[in-house]
Amino acid sequence: MLPVERLHLDHVLQTVSVLESVVLRSFGPEGGQMLFIRDTGQAMLSRSGTKILTALRLEHPLARMVVECVLKHSAATGDGSKTFILLLASLLRMIHTTACKVPNVSHMYNSREAAVASTARRLAKKLVAFAFEELDDIFAMGVAPYGCCLSQEDYILTAQSQTNNPCVQKLLATFFHSRLGGTHSDLFSHLTSEMLINWIVRGEHPSKSLHFIYDNLPALHTPVSGFSISCSRLIEGQVIHRDFAAPCPQSDQQPVKAVILTGFLHPEVLCAGEVLQLGCEDNGTENSSWKQSIMQYSTWAESSLECAIARLRSLGVSVILSAVKQSAAALALAAQAEICIVECISEDELFLFGHLSGVSPVTDCRMIKPDDIALLTFCRPILLGSQRYVHVAFQDLDKRLIIKPCSLIICGAGEGQTDQYVCAFRDAIRMQLSTWRPIGTAASKQTSQLSKSESLHAEDQICKSLSFQQSLMGPGCVVPAGGTFELLLHHALLQHGRSVSGKADVDRFAVSQILANALLSIPKNIYSHSSRRFLETQTRLMGFINKQKHNTNLEQNLEEGIGNQHCCREINTPSEVFMLDLGLESLSCKYQLLLAVLQCVSNLLQVDTLLHINTTSHT
Amino acid sequence: MSRLVQKSPSLCTDLPLNNSDVCNKLRLLKELLKSCYGPTGRLKQVHNNIGGHVVTTSTSSVLLPALSSSQPLVNLIRSCILNHVSRFSDCGLFAAILCLTLIEEAKLSGLRRNVSIKVNKHLLGMCSSYLQEEDCGCRVVLDFCSSMNLITLTRSVIYSKPACVLAEVEALHMSKLAVQAFLLTVPCNSPGTVRLGRIVTVGVEGHPVLNSAVLTGLLVEVHDHLSLRMIKSMQTNPLRVVLFSASLAGDLSDLGDGIIEAHTGVDTDSQILDQLLEFCKHVVEDEVKLFVCQKVLHPVLQQYLRNHGVIVIDRVGVALMEPLTLLTGAQPVATLHTTIPAKAYGTVRSLSVKEFGSKTMLHLQPAAESAVCTMVVCHRNETMLSELKAVCQQAEHVLRLTLKEPSALLGGGCTETHLAAFIRNKVRFFTSLILLVIYLFITVKNTVIPSQSLNEVSQTLTAVECSQSEYLLGVEGFCRSLESVAAALQHDGGNSLTDLTHAHHWTLPADVTTENMEESLTFCGCGLTRNSPNMKWTHLNTKYPQFSPAPALRDSTVQPHVLDSFTAKLNALQVAVETANLVLDVRYVIQDTN
């Protein structure tokens, strides 16, 4: 008989609470870093919930299931993994208390525990159904009016004056605050928004450019350890993470002409599988090699190499960016012809270079055409930390692409730190991408399919297809951070519950109560160091909501018939005040988070038994 | 088939800084590093458990890699400091001690971690901007017209490494040489972007330090002494040089991935050798007198070339290739079949044989002006020599850094005490301003208060997000940490003092009583201020009335005796505070035990 473990709600709650206690250490403004030592002895620092949870290497199947849900969620949004756990724990707790209160009316259950479990299961199902049916409306009514919408102009506006429209920067600052702590968040949000300004193509949907940055991130940043973080900066052009193969005299001639080469300069005389026979006299005339020296083959190869170099020289090429390692002879001849060679460049970097310069790679140097030559304003060595790299800048970019390519240099005291900054940067881009995803049931259904296929690229099409539909809240909606979202939704849910309480639907009321109360745990944990701050924020927000409602009532009276199709309002309301102190977070991320947590809860509660199977491990 | 092993769960430590074991380890590390700090620091012997080489050292770049620990936080600090050292070569111990003291002070103060982190960050910003100010009291602008300051700077680097065992004269000699070598690497008449040349360091064991020298050109070790005899006979100037970067040992050149089948009677070796000899014939015809090969040269070729009066140097290694191309102006050749173009040849003005101890070396003098020079470093035994070589390279790095930022900081602990006094004064000014505002607000309503200072006060407190008393506690911890680094320079039981006018650092020997204190104090740590009748002192880490530290009088006759690299120290300060903040921010440690 297999060892069977009956699962009770208590067990589930206990497991999730343990996870919660770990995550709480780095949650909110008072949270700190987690230091993770890999099995190789390498140190890694993180405040990211995903990293913390994977580092724990949990054994308990339930905990692993939770971690998997978190990973899936954060792979899609790049944010909210710590909130996921907190919300999950709080929801389970609420369900537990509610389920325990329900009187045991049925005799079908032979124990009280079974009754509790079944009630909990039913509640969880109701919660998911509730979320799918009514959450959209509640969001549109109760939360979205207090937020604002990012528009494409925000990215461009920031370019003109740094202080004019701080929305994007605020959004990033809040994200980095939760990822890197308060001390560096300003610096990083500034760098990131500047990077976005330079890369985002005018007149195109921002998510397209964001995708490009996300995909090319390895080639777009350089980590440098040993320096203070304040040395992090943006530099013009691209950094190729290789050094010149031979020290090369720099000419001031402009423009610098470069080619991308994926093959060898030195021709291969013998390909794999071919056989060269030396000195076989019996073949007579057919194979005349018997009298020839082997050196003739290398003579031929070298003269061919010389021709290739001469050809490059006649085209005026002075830089070769090679994907492979070239022979010593090729390097020496190129140096004599004053051509610099950069060897072993990774595919990603060559792709980016090709994209920015508009040329395609060449396999054989003898086939080179004038179209394959890239024009650069400069190509020079750059010393970053202990490494020397090649720094290039492109010519005539204004005409071809309407962007200013730039590279991010991330400095930190050690490798652990720079890695952390890079991860945070990548997730910030992903978070921005999901901010641009529209909210609504249609979108959420499609995205849930998406997360299965794990393709980020298809989101573009969704954005386009949905732009025709009238979605409830436009993409790019942001709300004030610091627990404001949870407090707003809490309030909206309570109101919603009150409005339906007249009907016979008791469950719906209970469900919205559970969700509303569970949400409160987030702001409580944010202000865990002083409950005074929590109460202050809550009162301030409530006062604000009441005032706002008064205004909207007046407005609605005036323009009846339009209905309550709220589009997000521009920031000219007093909500601006809130945003400026608290920062911003993406509404779309929050929406997805809520759905993901509710699904996770119902998944967890569906399980009733654990079966431990013994498999003989292969040794 | 792959082996499936179940992963064991990770080992977790909650709030590591509250753990007494972790704190003890950090304290031990701090005491260990403190005892190495400065010119009178104690040396450490490092040896491994399998009877390896024993290293005697006090430099952070050698010591820190040896101090690996099972405690992740210790390793984190270590790697941060080592990264700094690898970039700046100086101030590693300063950064490490400051970082560890800051952590300890933050724990002692009992502040919330986030508050200490924010206060530290704020004060770091205050320090860095003060150090970069024009009228900063502890910065000296370097004058490149005289080598005086450069020598002082180098001497401070060399003298602070007691493991080199140098007398004062020797230290001065070495610093002069280091400056001389550095100046030789700066090209004089090249327009456009200046590229610094190279210093090649050659170590000679068993000779007195004063025999060390700097030579223009390169010293190349010669493995056979046959060619050295030829040198005396050839004095024609200048000599033609060829540099070869591929192997000439007679191995088969790379033809691709295919298979070569050689039938009996085919001697590929002799075919290749014939080709090589043909090539050498060309070289001889082109009147080359010096043949340098990075890799191995076939003995037959060596013999052939020598018979034709060509000096052969092979196996020079890849490290020497760059200085050789710089010196001779030759371009490395790697092809056998093509004719060598005339411009690929280089020249040297003359060749001579130099003997240093057991080493016989060929001295290549450049034909034109070149920025390559050789530094011959002599010392009595191997350990001291390796330490001295490392120190010379550090000194070179420090000197190069001055080109980017031509200033230096006062050494001998004076910068630290000065900064501490500066911060205390500025913060006290803030808080008294707040009191003043409140007072004015109560008494006279319509007063104009300097709005700029008011702004500064409010900005500070909102940026730090803490109460005034918390702020003051954090500031006190930061200042005490700075002062304790200055005090760590003292190892012989002496007392550390600071004066109440310039806030420099003074040392009082242990055997001097407080009564005749004033006679025994002549100069401060950096040597810029001297004892004057109305000067007052106080012990470090005691409370003293805050004052604005006056910059020392800039008297051209008094020059500081001890200077530290500005760039290195500023970065060390930043790295120390950032690392301390990082360690304070760690709330949870997860160790993967697989």
Residue A537 pairs in a beta bridge with: none
Per the CB < 8 A criterion, the answer to whether A27 and A525 are in contact is yes
Compute the average pLDDT of residues B289-304.
89
Identity of the residue in A25, A271, A386 whose CB atom sits nearest the CB atom of B258: A271
Give the pLDDT score at A252.
67
Confidence of residue A462 (pLDDT cuts 50, 70, 90): very low
CA angle B45, B49, B50 (to 5 degrees): 115
- 3-state SS of B323-363 is HHHHHHCCCCECCCCCCCCHHHCEEEEEEEEEEECCEEEEE
Per-residue pLDDT band for A570 (boundaries 50, 70, 90) equals: very low
Mean pLDDT of B538-544: 80
Give chain A positions within 8 Å (CB) of B113: 32
**Mean pLDDT over the full length of chain B:** 85
pLDDT at B291 over 80: yes
**CB distance B581–A183 less than 8 Å?**
yes
Q: Which CATH superfamily is domain A4-149+438-611 in?
A: GroEL-like equatorial domain (1.10.560.10)
Residues B414, B433: Cα–Cα separation, whole Å: 28
- State the pLDDT confidence band at A445, using cuts at 50, 70 and 90: very low
Is residue B160 within 8 angstroms of chain A, CB to CB? no
Mean pLDDT score, A158-180: 72
> To the nearest 5 percent, what fractions of chain B are helix, strand and coil?
45, 20, 35
Residue A574 is predicted with a pLDDT of 45
Closest CA to B115 of B443, B470, B379, B592: B470
Q: What is the rounded distance in angstroms from the CA atom of residue B74 to the CA atom of residue B65?
A: 12
Tell if the CB–CB gap between A279 and B265 is shorter than 8 Å.
yes
- 3-state SS of A29-78 is CCCCEEEEECCCCCEEEECCHHHHHHHCCCCCHHHHHHHHHHHHHHHHHC
Residue A138 scores a pLDDT above 90: no
Phi, psi of A473 (to 5 degrees): -125, 130
Q: What is the pLDDT of residue A495?
A: 85
All residues at 6 or more sequence positions from A8 whose CB lies less than 8 Å from its CB, including other chains: A113, A116, A117
pLDDT of residue A161: 47
Q: What is the pLDDT of residues A34-50, one digit of tens each?
A: 888 888 878 888 888 88
**Least Cα separation, residue A193 to chain B (angstroms):** 21
State residue A289's pLDDT score.
45
CA dist., res. B168 & res. B171, Å (int): 5
Q: Which of A176-185, A459-468, A540-549 reaches the highest mean pLDDT?
A: A176-185
Ranges A135-149, A216-230, A510-524, B164-178: which has the least confidence:
A135-149
Q: State whether residue B196 sits within 8 Å of chain A by CB.
A: no
pLDDT band at residue A401 using 50, 70 and 90 as cut-offs: low
Task: Specify the pLDDT at position B91.
Answer: 92
Tokens describing residue A205: 């949907």
- Residue A409 has phi, psi (to 5 degrees) of -110, 120
Q: Dump pLDDT digits (tens) for B197-228.
A: 889 999 998 889 999 999 999 988 887 666 67
Local confidence band at A446 (pLDDT 50, 70, 90 cut-offs): very low
* CA distance linking residue A205 with residue A200, whole number of Å: 9
Contact flag B261-A293 (C-beta cutoff 8 Å): no
Per-residue pLDDT tens over the stretch B456-515: 666 666 666 677 888 889 999 999 999 999 999 988 888 888 888 888 898 888 877 767
Over pLDDT 90: what percentage of chain A?
15
- pLDDT band at residue B541 using 50, 70 and 90 as cut-offs: confident
- Name the residue facing B256 among A271, A417, A619 (closest C-beta): A271
Distance (Å, rounded) from C-alpha A304 to C-alpha B39? Answer: 62
**A454 compared with A236, residue with greater pLDDT:** A236
CB contact under 8 A, B83 and A37: no
- The structural domains of chain B, ordered by start, are 14-136+411-591 (1.10.560.10), 218-255+265-369 (3.50.7.10)
pLDDT at residue A581, rounded to an integer: 64
pLDDT computed for residue A87 by the predictor: 93
| Interface contact B404, partner A, CB < 8 A | no
Helix (H), strand (E), coil (C) string for B19-51: CHHHHHHHHHHHHHHHCCCCCCCCCEEECCCCC
Lowest mean pLDDT among A284-298, B264-278, B304-318, B352-366: A284-298
Chain A nearest C-alpha distance from B205 (Å): 30
Domain limits, CATH 3.50.7.10, in chain A = 238-404
Substitution target from A15, A26, A35, A224 for chain B, most B beta carbons within 10 A: A35
Find, among A91, A352, A387, A438, the residue nearest to A224 by Cα: A387
CA separation for the pair B314, A6 (Å, rounded): 78
Mutate to test the interface with B, among A294, A325, A411, A527 (most CBs of B within 10 A): A294
* B332 chain-A contacts, CB cut-off 8 A: 246, 332, 335
Residue that the structure tokens 């009595």 belong to: B380
Q: Is pLDDT of A561 > 50?
A: no
Give the model's confidence band at A202: pLDDT under 50 very low, under 70 low, under 90 confident, else very high.
confident
Over residues A495-508, the pLDDT tens digits come to: 888 777 555 567 77
Q: Which residue has the higher pLDDT, B316 or A202?
A: B316
Residues A333, B1: C-beta atoms closer than 8 Å: no
Q: Does the CA dihedral B571-B576-B581-B586 come out positive or negative?
A: positive
pLDDT band (50, 70, 90) for residue A573: very low
In this predicted model, which residue has the larger pLDDT, B347 or A297?
B347
Cα–Cα distance for residue pair A573/A577, rounded to 1 Å:
8
Å from B74 to nearest chain A CA? 11
Q: Determine what percent of chain A falls in helix, strand and coil, rounding each to the nearest 5.
A: 55, 15, 30
Q: Does B589 touch chain A (CB under 8 A)?
A: yes
* Confidence (pLDDT) at A214: 92
DSSP state of B254: P
* Residue A295 with chain B: CB contacts under 8 Å: 271-272, 274-275, 337
Residues in chain B closer than 8 A to A269 (CB atoms): 255-256, 258
Share of chain B above pLDDT 70, in %: 90
Which of A183, A291, A307 best probes binding to B when mutated, by most B CB atoms within 10 angstroms?
Answer: A183
Nearest beta carbon to residue B261 from set A55, A57, A278: A278
Selecting from A43, A295, A306 the residue whose C-beta is nearest the C-beta of B275 gives A295
What secondary structure does DSSP assign to B261-311, as a single string? EE-TT--HHHHHHHHHHHHHHHHHHTT--EEEESS-B-HHHHHHHHHTT-E
A144/A384: higher pLDDT: A384
Distance CA B348, CA B238 (A): 6
At A128, which helix (H) or strand (E)?
A: helix A112-138
Q: Which of B593, B562, B570 is nearest to B151 (CA)?
A: B562
> Given a cut of 80, is residue B39 above it in pLDDT?
yes
Closest CA to A182 of B462, B195, B407, B484: B462
Compute the average pLDDT of residues B236-244. 84
Residue A34 has its nearest CB partner, among B86, B579, B587, at B587
pLDDT at B255: 67
DSSP-derived letter for residue A341 is E
Q: Is the pLDDT of residue A410 over 60?
A: yes
Residue A442's pLDDT band, with cuts at 50, 70 and 90, is: very low
Chain A CA closest to residue B82? A226
Pairing of the two strands B55-57 and A148-149: unpaired
pLDDT at A40 (0 to 100):
83
* Sign of the torsion formed by the C-alpha atoms of A47, A50, A51 and A54: positive
User: Taking CB atoms and an 8 Å cutoff, what residues of chain A touch B325?
Assistant: 247
Closest CA to A14 of A81, A72, A96: A96
Consecutive H or E run containing B201:
strand B198-205
Average pLDDT, chain A: 78
d(CA A183, CA B464): 10
Max distance between CA atoms of chain A, in angstroms, equals 107
Which residues is A195 bridged to in the sheet?
none
- Lowest-confidence range among A294-298, A396-400, A589-593, B180-184? A396-400
Contacts of A296 (CB under 8 A, 6+ apart): none
* Sheet with A584-586: strands ordered across: A148-149, A477-480, A584-586
Could you report the per-residue pLDDT of A91-136, keeping only the tens digit for each? 999 998 888 887 655 556 667 777 888 888 888 888 898 888 888 8
- Any chain A CB within 8 A of the CB of B246? yes
Strands of B505-508's sheet in order across: B505-508, B495-499, B537-539
Please state the separation of Cα A92 from the chain's center in Å.
28
Nearest CA in chain B to A56: B10
For residues B200, B205, B206, B212, the Cα torsion angle rounded to the nearest 10 degrees is 10
Cβ–Cβ gap B75/A43 under 8 Å: yes
Q: What is the pLDDT of residue A553?
A: 59
Distance from CA of A101 to the nearest CA of B (A): 35
Q: Between chains, do A276 and B266 touch, taking CB under 8 Å as contact?
A: no
Residues of chain B contacting A617 with CB distance shorter than 8 Å: 4-6
Numbered ranges of CATH 1.10.560.10 in chain A: 4-149+438-611
Bond into B72 cis (ω within 30)? no
Q: Nearest C-alpha of chain A: how many angstroms from B48? A: 20
Q: Does B267 touch chain A (CB under 8 A)?
A: no
Contact B272, A294 (CB under 8 A): yes
Is A413 within 8 Å of B12 when comparing Cβ atoms? no
**CATH topology (fold) of A238-404:** GroEL (3.50.7)
pLDDT at A284 over 80: no
List of E strands, A262-312? 275-278
B255 and A269: CB-CB below 8 Å? yes
Residue A424 in this model has a pLDDT that exceeds 70? yes
Distance between start and end Cα atoms, chain B: 20
pLDDT band at A552 (very low <50, low <70, confident <90, very high): low
CA A428/CA A592 separation, integer angstroms: 16
Predicted structure pTM score: 0.87
For the cut 90, the answer to whether the pLDDT of residue B580 exceeds it is: yes
In this predicted structure, what is the pLDDT of residue A364?
83
pLDDT (tens digit, 9 = 90+) per residue, B61-92?
889 998 888 888 999 999 999 999 999 988 99
Q: How many CB atoms neighbour CB B556 within 10 A?
A: 5
User: Is some CB atom of chain A closer than 8 A to the CB atom of B271?
Assistant: yes
User: Both tokens of residue A455?
Assistant: 């393709």
